[in-house]
Chains A and B, each alone.
Chain A
Amino acid sequence: MSEVSADQIKVDRTKMTVSDTDVAVEINGMNKWYGDFHVLKDINLKVMKGERIVIAGPSGSGKSTLIRCINRLEEHQQGEIIVDGIELTNDLKRIDEVRREVGMVFQHFNLFPHLTIMENCTLAPMWVRGIPKAEAEATAMEYLEKVKIPEQADKFPGQLSGGQQQRVAIARSLCMNPNIMLFDEPTSALDPEMIKEVLEVMVNLAETGMTMLCVTHEMGFARQVANRVIFMDQGQIIEQNDPDNFFDNPQHERTKLFLSQILH
């Protein structure tokens, strides 16, 4: 909830270009229920290639559910979701196709504790993409270097700190060479010192031009990196704007209240 962390990170926006024509994710009139509970109401969202979107909102507003719908960890009941040109339906083949191209980083890292860091990173490339072991390991090493922990490759997740584990989780997703990255509160389970190291990695990733959708409370990151901030409440998108306008000139009452409570 602090604006401190990301402000200390230098952001190079030169490569963060947003495509005018290529759509990464398109959501039209999407509704979702948990039983009788209407969690997501008439969601319409179009994400262009290269966009960095931060989704903010109070807890229970449906923001995690929304991004979990994008790789079908949650099923929607109405409307359409098109990811990378593929519409998500009950067709398992298409779901796997989408998941191959969409990376996801979780709040609790969800590394596989029985595998080493290297094995965590090579598992999906080898078994899903069929990449030979040596090549998968070379790619994994490349990404582990990018997240600055190549020396931990042979350790097990349980031996790493939370921040290191989250960086491994990011590297693991990147090893699949995804087109879109989803972040579900990636820093919420971390100590303040570790938040910074994870945000740095996310900023570096944004600088490569990756399409990113981040559910996060790091408003500093949102202001610096995002090109669009989406505010959700009660399962609906209430306001979206570019970060400067969003933070300095919020329109909706709920947004104003939210911002007044988290920004000091």
Chain B
Amino acid sequence: MTDTSFAYVRNEMLGEQPAPSTSKGLVGWLRQNLFSDIPNSIMTIVGILFLAWFLPPIFNFLVTHAVFPWSVDNTVEACRTEEAGACWIYVVDRFNFFIYGFYPSESYWRVNICFLLGIVTLVPLLWPDLPHKGLSAIGFFVVMPVATFFLLNGGVFGLTEVPTEKWGGLTITLIIATVGIVASLPIGIVLALGRRSHMPFVKYVCIAFIELWRAVPLITVLFMASIMLPLFLPEGTTIDKLLRALVGVSLFSAAYMAEVVRGGLQALPKGQYEAADALGLNYFKAMYLVILPQALKHVIPGIVNSFISLFKDTSLVSIVGLFDLLNTVQATTAQVEWKSPHQATTGYLFAAAMFWVFCFGMSRYSMYMERRLNTGHKE
């Protein structure tokens, strides 16, 4: 006698059925994401109302009421009317100044070649699937800077000499940012490793360096470099103003970079150091092959954060009289020939857009690299 009332055997397997329409397609997506419950629905409606209130005036200012070169009335008079929006024709007119600063216009081609060279050497370095990384690195870190210096500065190969005082605009912003980024990472790594050294002398020198630079505002650093440094140097010695700014910015960012990298070094389990040691790798090989690749990967967001903030901080060099992008824009906002209500706003919008493009680019690239380097749990 067996009680089999709970026993059950499935005779027929069920086929797959389509998901209910409420969980897929546009309706499904809306229900799941925008109207899943009452608070969410309220947030959605408030959000839509906010955009409806906020976006049209902006769009009107930037596009519908703005004065473009191809507008019917594209004179400065159009910018001076009451309902006029952004005065883009002023930006277009001053565009060369924003990009090249006071660089002589007959030599713009030299700057353009530098831009081109920068792109051509940077792309193969950043494109992970391209081979010959060593060659690309030489191109970007050696060939490009040397070529750029001689092209911009001139004085050789029959090129007229253009002193750095005349460099300006986006050119100088990119020069400072690139040099700062390229120099600060390796210096920062060395400082971070030094700070974790067992040798007291190395350790305390690194700590002193990092803490000194981090505790001082960048403006102060630039001021010191341009005004106080010459006082200590023997009469007659002059160090180029741009060079001083470059050194100041690089060392300043290196101190920040050091702390970011140190965070990555500390996050690594002790076992990684021990495994590298146990295999007989010496200190430098262990760092280069095992520790730094992992530590740097962990802190990509922090590193790029520093890069982005460095890029924006380049605008502070205006304080020592260098004409970076922002400073060139600022210098034209009061020009009488373009005098109009939104002249300054339009100029600053342009500067902001330029900064945004570069910083957003760096941010996207870092996110791409993070995904690519994630070997932790990928299928």
Q: Are A and B associated in one complex?
A: yes
A69, chain B: closest CB distance, angstroms? 13
B275–A106 touching, CB < 8 Å: yes
Closest B residue to A97 by beta carbon equals B280
B294–A113 touching, CB < 8 Å: yes
Q: Is B123 an interface residue (CB 8 A)?
A: no
Q: Which of B180-188, B346-354, B371-379 contacts A (4 or more CB under 8 A)?
A: B371-379
Q: Is A81 an interface residue (CB 8 A)?
A: no
Which chain A residues lie closer than 8 Å to B40 at the CB level? none
A108-B271, A114-B293, A114-B294 known; A172-B279 Cβ under 8 A: yes
Q: Is A2 an interface residue (CB 8 A)?
A: no
Q: Is B282 an interface residue (CB 8 A)?
A: yes
B378–A158 touching, CB < 8 Å: yes
Which chain B residues lie closer than 8 Å to A71 at the CB level? 277-278
B227, chain A: closest CB distance, angstroms? 46
Which chain A residues lie closer than 8 Å to B375 at the CB level? 113-114, 156, 158
Q: Is B60 an interface residue (CB 8 A)?
A: no
B274–A114 touching, CB < 8 Å: no
Q: Which of B274, B289, B290, B379 contacts A73 (CB 8 A)?
A: B274
Q: Which of B285, B294, B373, B378 contacts A128 (CB 8 A)?
A: B285
Closest A residue to B286 by beta carbon equals A127
A110–B274 touching, CB < 8 Å: yes
Q: Is B272 an interface residue (CB 8 A)?
A: yes
Interface residues on A, range: 20 to 34
Which chain B residues lie closer than 8 Å to A110 at the CB level? 269, 271-272, 274-275
A166 to B143 alpha-carbon distance, docked (Å): 46
Closest A residue to B291 by beta carbon equals A112
Digit string of B274-312 for contact with A (CB within 8 Å is 1, else 0)? Answer: 111111111001000110011001000000000000000
Which chain B residues lie closer than 8 Å to A100 at the CB level? 280
A99–B275 touching, CB < 8 Å: no
A92, A112, A159, A173 interface centre (most CB from chain B within 10 Å):
A112
A190, chain B: closest CB distance, angstroms? 16
Q: Which of B278, B294, B297, B378 contacts A99 (CB 8 A)?
A: B278
A108 to B272 alpha-carbon distance, docked (Å): 10
A173 to B271 alpha-carbon distance, docked (Å): 15
A73 to B273 alpha-carbon distance, docked (Å): 10
A96 to B276 alpha-carbon distance, docked (Å): 11
A127–B278 touching, CB < 8 Å: no
Q: Is A176 an interface residue (CB 8 A)?
A: yes
Closest A residue to B278 by beta carbon equals A104
A156 to B294 alpha-carbon distance, docked (Å): 14
B269, B271, B274, B280 interface centre (most CB from chain A within 10 Å):
B280
B289–A123 touching, CB < 8 Å: yes
Q: Is A194 an interface residue (CB 8 A)?
A: no
A123-B279, A124-B279 known; A106-B274 Cβ under 8 A: yes
A110 to B285 alpha-carbon distance, docked (Å): 17
Digit string of B245-287 for contact with A (CB within 8 Å is 1, else 0)? Answer: 0000000000000000000000001011011111111100100
A92, chain B: closest CB distance, angstroms? 7
A128 to B289 alpha-carbon distance, docked (Å): 11
B376–A127 touching, CB < 8 Å: no
Which chain B residues lie closer than 8 Å to A124 at the CB level? 279-281
Q: Is A111 an interface residue (CB 8 A)?
A: yes
A114 to B297 alpha-carbon distance, docked (Å): 9
A99–B272 touching, CB < 8 Å: no
Taking CB atoms and an 8 Å cut-off, the chain A residues in 165-181 that contact chain B are: 172-173, 176
Which chain B residues lie closer than 8 Å to A127 at the CB level? 281, 285, 289
A99 to B269 alpha-carbon distance, docked (Å): 20
Digit string of A136-161 for contact with B (CB within 8 Å is 1, else 0)? Answer: 00000000000000000000101100
A99–B277 touching, CB < 8 Å: yes
A113-B375, A128-B285, A158-B378 known; A96-B280 Cβ under 8 A: yes
Taking CB atoms and an 8 Å cut-off, the chain A residues in 85-144 that contact chain B are: 92, 96, 99-100, 102-104, 106, 108, 110-114, 123-124, 127-128
A124 to B276 alpha-carbon distance, docked (Å): 8
Which chain B residues lie closer than 8 Å to A112 at the CB level? 272, 275-276, 290, 294
B290, B294, B377 interface centre (most CB from chain A within 10 Å):
B290
Closest A residue to B271 by beta carbon equals A110
A123 to B272 alpha-carbon distance, docked (Å): 14
B238, chain A: closest CB distance, angstroms? 46
B373–A114 touching, CB < 8 Å: yes
Which chain B residues lie closer than 8 Å to A104 at the CB level? 275, 278
B279–A176 touching, CB < 8 Å: yes
Which chain A residues lie closer than 8 Å to B285 at the CB level? 127-128
Taking CB atoms and an 8 Å cut-off, the chain A residues in 42-77 that contact chain B are: 71, 73
A127, chain B: closest CB distance, angstroms? 5
A179, chain B: closest CB distance, angstroms? 13
B275, B285, B290, B373 interface centre (most CB from chain A within 10 Å):
B275
Q: Which of B269, B294, B378 contacts A159 (CB 8 A)?
A: B378
* Chain B residues within CB distance 8 Å of chain A: 269, 271-272, 274-282, 285, 289-290, 293-294, 297, 373, 375-379
Q: List the 9 shortest-distance A-B pairs measured between CB atoms, nearest first.
A: A110-B275, A110-B271, A124-B279, A100-B280, A99-B280, A104-B278, A156-B375, A128-B280, A158-B376
* 8 pairs from A and B in contact (CB 8 Å cutoff): A73-B278, A103-B278, A112-B272, A112-B276, A112-B294, A123-B279, A158-B376, A176-B279
